[in-house]
Amino acid sequence: MAKSPQAKNAPAKRRTSDIPFGHDPASRLLPWVVAVMVYIAGLSIAGALVLSAFADRWESGLIGAMTVQIPPPADDAIDTDYQDGLVRKAVAAILETPGVEKAEPLATEEMRRLLEPWLGKSIDPRDLPLPSLISVEFKDGLTAGDLDLRDLQRRVDAVAPGAILDDHGQWQARLVSFLESLRLVAAVLVAIVTLAGLIMVIFAVRGGLLAHRQTIELLHLVGAVDGYIAAQFQREAMKAGFKGGLLGLTATAATVVGLGHGAASTGAVLPGVAVLDPTDWVILCLLPVATALISVAAARVTVLRALAKMV
Amino acid sequence: MPLSRRFRALKAAHFRAGFGGIRCWGAIGRNRLNETFRVIRFENVGMRYGTGPEVLRDVSFDLPDGSFHFLTGASGAGKSSLLRLMYLAQRPSRGLISIFDRDLSTIPRKELPMLRRKIGVVYQDFRLLDHLTTFENVALPLKVKGASEGVVRKHVGELLAWVGLNDQAHARPATLSGGQQQRAAIARAVVTRPQILLADEPTGNVDDAYAVRLLFLLQELHRQGTTVVIATHNHALIERFRHPVLHLEDGILSRVGEDPVYDG
Ligand SMILES: Nc1ncnc2c1ncn2[C@@H]1O[C@H](COP(=O)(O)OP(=O)(O)OP(=O)(O)O)[C@@H](O)[C@H]1O
Ligand SMILES: [Mg+2]
DSSP string of B212-255, one letter each residue: HHHHHHHHHHHHTT-EEEEE---HHHHHHH---EEEEETTEEEE
Phi, psi of B196, rounded to the nearest 5 degrees: -125, 135
Are B145 and B192 contacting, i.e. CB atoms less than 8 angstroms apart? yes
For residue A3, pLDDT over 50 is answered with: no
pLDDT reported for residue A11: 39
Pocket test for ligand 1, best of B51, B79, B233 (most atoms within 8 A of CB): B79
Measuring from atom 3 of ligand 1, which residue has the nearest CA? B49
For the cut 90, the answer to whether the pLDDT of residue B229 exceeds it is yes
Give whole-number Cα distances, B194 to B114, B188, B204, in Å: 11, 10, 23
- A46-50, A258-262, B69-73 — most confident range: B69-73
Q: In 3D, which of A212, A222, A311, A217 has the Cα closest to residue B145? A: A222
In this prediction, residue A126 carries a pLDDT of: 64
Under the banding of pLDDT at 50, 70 and 90, the label for residue A61 is: low
ipTM for this model: 0.85
Pairing of strands B94-99, B245-249: unpaired
Task: Please list every residue in chain B whose beta carbon sits closer than 8 Å to the beta carbon of residue A217.
Answer: 89
* DSSP letters for A2-53: -HHHHHTTGGGG-S--SS-TTSSHHHHHHHHHHHHHHHHHHHHHHHHHHHHH
Mean pLDDT of A9-17: 49
**Total domains present in chain B:** 1
* Ligand 1 pocket mutation pick from B56, B80, B123 by most atoms within 8 angstroms of CB: B80
Residue B161 lies in a domain: yes
B184 domain residue, yes or no: yes
- Residue B20 confidence (pLDDT) above 90: no
In the prediction, which pLDDT does A79 show? 72
CA of A78 to the centre of ligand 2 (A): 112
Q: How far is B237 from chain A (nearest CA, A)?
A: 28
CA distance B236 to A200: 56
Listed by number, the residues of chain B in 97-126 with a beta carbon closer than 8 Å to a beta carbon of chain A are: 109-110, 112-114, 116-117, 121
Rounded to the nearest angstrom, the minimum Cα separation between A204 and chain B is 21
CA gap B165, B134 in Å, rounded: 8
Position B28 scores a pLDDT of 44
Q: Residues B188-216: what's their mean pLDDT? A: 88
Decide if A219 and B144 are in contact by the 8 Å CB cutoff: yes
Give the position, in ligand 1's atom list, of the atom nearest the Cα of B82.
18
> Mean pLDDT lowest for which of A19-33, A185-199, B57-71?
A19-33
Buried b / exposed e across B217-237, counting CB within 10 Å, b at 16+? bbbbbbebbbbbbbbbebeeb
pLDDT tops 70 at residue B8: no
Strands (E), chain B: 38-48, 54-64, 68-73, 94-99, 102-103, 119-122, 196-200, 227-231, 245-249, 252-256
Chain B CB contacts of A214 below 8 Å: 127
User: Of A205-209, A276-280, B234-238, which gets the smallest average pLDDT?
Assistant: A276-280
- What pLDDT is recorded for position B33? 58
What would the mean pLDDT of B53-80 be, rounded to a whole number?
Answer: 94
On whether any CB of chain A is under 8 Å from the CB of B91, the answer is yes
Please say if the pLDDT value at position B96 is more than 80. Answer: yes
pLDDT band of residue B24 (cuts 50, 70, 90) is: very low
The residue that leads in pLDDT, A144 or A187, is A187
B150 lines ligand 1 (CB under 6 A): no
Examine residue B53 and state whether it is found in any structural domain, yes or no: no
Closest residue by Cα to atom 25, ligand 1, is B75
* Minimum mean pLDDT range among A81-85, B111-115, B225-229: A81-85
What average pLDDT does this structure show over A90-111? 82
Q: How far is B239 from chain A (nearest CA, A)?
A: 31
Average pLDDT over residues A162-166: 83
Average pLDDT over residues B48-69: 94
- Of A221, A236, A309, A310, which to mutate for an interface test with B (greatest number of B Cβ within 10 Å)? A221
Residue B182, ligand 1, Cβ within 6 A: no
Mean pLDDT of A11-28: 70
Does any domain span residue B239? no
Q: What is the mean pLDDT of residues B89-98?
A: 94
The residue contributing the CA closest to ligand 1 atom 28 is B76
For chain B, give the percent of residues with pLDDT over 70.
Answer: 83
* Alpha helix ranges (H) inside A142-222: 149-159, 169-211, 213-221
Residue A230, class by beta-carbon neighbours within 10 Å (0-12 exposed, 13-18 middle, 19+ buried)? buried
Residue A50 identity (one-letter amino acid): V
Q: Which residues from chain B sit within 8 angstroms of residue A228, using beta carbons?
A: 144
**Residue B95 in domain:** no
Summarize the confidence of residues B82-106 as an average pLDDT: 94
Q: How much is the pLDDT for B11?
A: 45
d(CA A134, CA A159): 14
pLDDT of residue A297 exceeding 90: yes
Distance CA A229, CA A18 (A): 9
CA-angle at A46, arms to A43 and A48, nearest 5°: 110
Q: CA B34 to CA B11: how far, in whole Å?
A: 29
> Which ligand has the nearest atom to the CA of B199?
2
In a domain, B97, yes or no: no
Domain, as residue range, for B142: 129-193
Judging contacts by C-beta atoms under 8 Å, the chain A residues touching residue B129 are: 18, 20, 215, 218
Q: Is the pLDDT of residue A244 over 50?
A: yes
Give A308's contacts in chain B (Cβ within 8 Å). Answer: 109
| Interchain CB distance below 8 Å, A221 and B116 | yes
Q: To the nearest whole angstrom, how far is the Cα of A223 from the nearest Cα of chain B? A: 4
Give the one of B116, B130, B149 whose C-beta lies nearest to A223's C-beta.
Answer: B116
What is the rounded distance in angstroms from the CA atom of residue A188 to the CA atom of residue B150? 52
Give pLDDT, residue A77. 62
pLDDT score, position B259: 47
pLDDT the model gives residue B2: 46
- Per-residue pLDDT tens for B103-154? 999 999 989 999 999 999 999 999 999 999 999 999 999 999 999 999 999 9
Q: Residue B103's CB: how many other CB atoms inside 10 A?
A: 11
Give ∠ CA B224-A12-A304 in degrees, rounded to 5: 95
The whole-angstrom separation of Cα A18 and Cα B135 is 13
- pLDDT mean across residues, chain A: 81
B148 within domain boundaries: yes
Average pLDDT, chain B: 85
Q: Tell if the pTM clears 0.80, that is, is over it.
A: no
> b or e along A173-190 (b: 16 or more beta carbons within 10 Å of the residue's beta carbon)?
eebeeebeebbeebeebb
Whether B142 is covered by a domain: the verdict is: yes
- What pLDDT is stored for residue A4 in this prediction? 41
